[in-house]
Structure 1
Amino acid sequence: MEYRYLGRSGLMVSALSLGGWVTYGGQVGPEVAQACMKTAFDNGINFFDTAEVYSGGQCEIDMGVAIRKFGWKRSDLVISTKIFWGGKGPNDRGLSRKHIIEGTDASLKRLQLDYVDLLYAHRPDPDTPMEEVVRAFNHVINMGKAFYWGTSEWSAQQITEAHGVAQRLNLIGPLMEQPQYNMFHRDRVEKEYLPLYKTYGMGTTTWSPLASGLLSGKYNTGIPADSRLAIEDNAVMKRLRDGLGSEDGRVKIAKVVKLGEIAQELDCTTAQLALAWCLKNPNLSSVITGASKPSQIEENVKSLQVLPLLTPEIMESIEQVLLNKPALDYNFRSS
């Protein structure tokens, strides 16, 4: 396993990590979750990601049970959770000081942990002043319930505002951002956040590296019954499922087929190629993967062996398939 610093901090996280969104507490039971976490740990993965909203908190419960069952040394683990959607009550969601503190306490209870290493604001909250948000996350850190705080799916402007507040108040700003990043979703990580990596030393722990499985190639000819997209009672999965039948979905599948040809040349799977492509980005601290069976984790870890094979020529071949590289140059014309 390769380990990378989380941004400008001294914390090292595995380049590949395991997340529980949709899967643990939902798609699979606790026994499978435990087997997946053990396989991940045995393969050098030290970073496990969850959130208060995942399966209504059951994901945190299942992950906590696994940590206790295997008796892993706490210092060998990097555990993260995210706060925003904690329930149906008027103060059970958002980033008020009340919910950040109470939501963190509830997550720790479900995880059976005294602290998490990373605590994220799961989404920006336009209804709560930024100073309240920054102060609340600093309070949680000062109480020893988290070591670092970060954001998820915040804009560069919002992250910059949070840092501005933190600097003005001599507080700790967000260290890391958790955005979506894959071959089909690139602009934010590759373009919008560019100034943040250097200015604030921001780390990234990206999610959906396989575009909800699309980049694995398993949806090229339909939707397998045991796949995430086959989950009926999930609005996100329904939206993604419906998208496969659109023209954009058909175009993406055609690109995945071509990517599969490149993967075949490298003697790897399409999924391993897509993961290695993400890992190639030097601004990524960790790529969060999902798995509903241990064998998927073992296959995903092999993407680290593909990483050295991604020569400039191979990367250009991939770009010729994707045709979506963000434009970084600006043409300022005088009037």
Structure 2
Amino acid sequence: MLFVWCIAALAGAAVANVGGGVIIDPDGDGLPGVAGGVPSDLTIDPAPGVSAEDMAGGAWAGTAYAFDSSTGVGRVLGPSGTQTLNASAPTGDGEIYMAGRGGTLWIIDPSTGLARAAAGITLADVRGLALSPSGKVFAVNEIAFGQPDELHAIDPQSGNSVRIGSMGLPGVQGLAFCGDTLYAYDIGPGNGIGQGLVTVDVNNAQTTDVDPNQNSSPQIGIQTISCGPDGKLYGGRSEMYRIDTVTADEELVGSGGYSDVRGWDFLEAGGPVCRYTIKKSRAKRGCETCPPKGSSYRTEGQCEDVKDCNKKLKTTIACPDGNGICKLKGKAESCS
């Protein structure tokens, strides 16, 4: 059985010729060799359901977890029913998208941990997923180990994807929006030392290092990032770190109850947010599907009453379907 699994793992591994030798990344973490819990990391007794945890996600081997972002502690929900999970994003309605190898976009039920297929996708090695405020799903796809990753936009209903461009980085292992800004985390070309936190231009995939003097740490090995309600990113793999989006500083939150996590995200049942009625919507740079005038636009700004929201909205968002941007103006309609 072990021999059969090894052959299957190598058959799906990322391979590249580097310096005359063959580099194999069988566990999809951007580093040569197997470092995570493969083929199974079900080493902790499963516990059903999410209680007070505010995050959910999954590991490379397919285990689904719930997490508490205030302590960094997690616990097993159970097997998801699939493997090679390597990226996640919120769905926008309280569940989690996940993808990796195998050509499927999955949805994880945070109450059971079970995965169900959302759509077949043409991206063979997804290393990052992100949901924009406008509802557009972005993905990082690895072409080959050690080569620059690419940014794509995915339609989660059909699975169709549009290539935006090369990110110029060979080790992107996480993707997340905080507000209208897209962030990624780069761990480098196989040694765990990359640029760390970068911003990503959603129109051309170009990246900008948040702090050129601060690189990623191979000891930490961040594999996923997600934006919290405090406006900071939460990244990790077998430990949880709080990452400042301005300074790129990383602060340990905690650990325990999980291992080799490749995707986690905040569940979106945490409270009402400001919503605006679109009054003006202008498509730019080739976008054809901007939110129409009169439609409702959901922001990330939390509120208790509509009086907590800015009266007017003025923002630029990524095009929901393809390249380009949308310039929006709106009026506060509700806190819900």
TM-score (norm: length of structure 1): 0.26
Whichever structure has more strand as a proportion of its residues is 2
Q: Which has the higher contact order (CA 8 A, sep 6+)?
A: 1
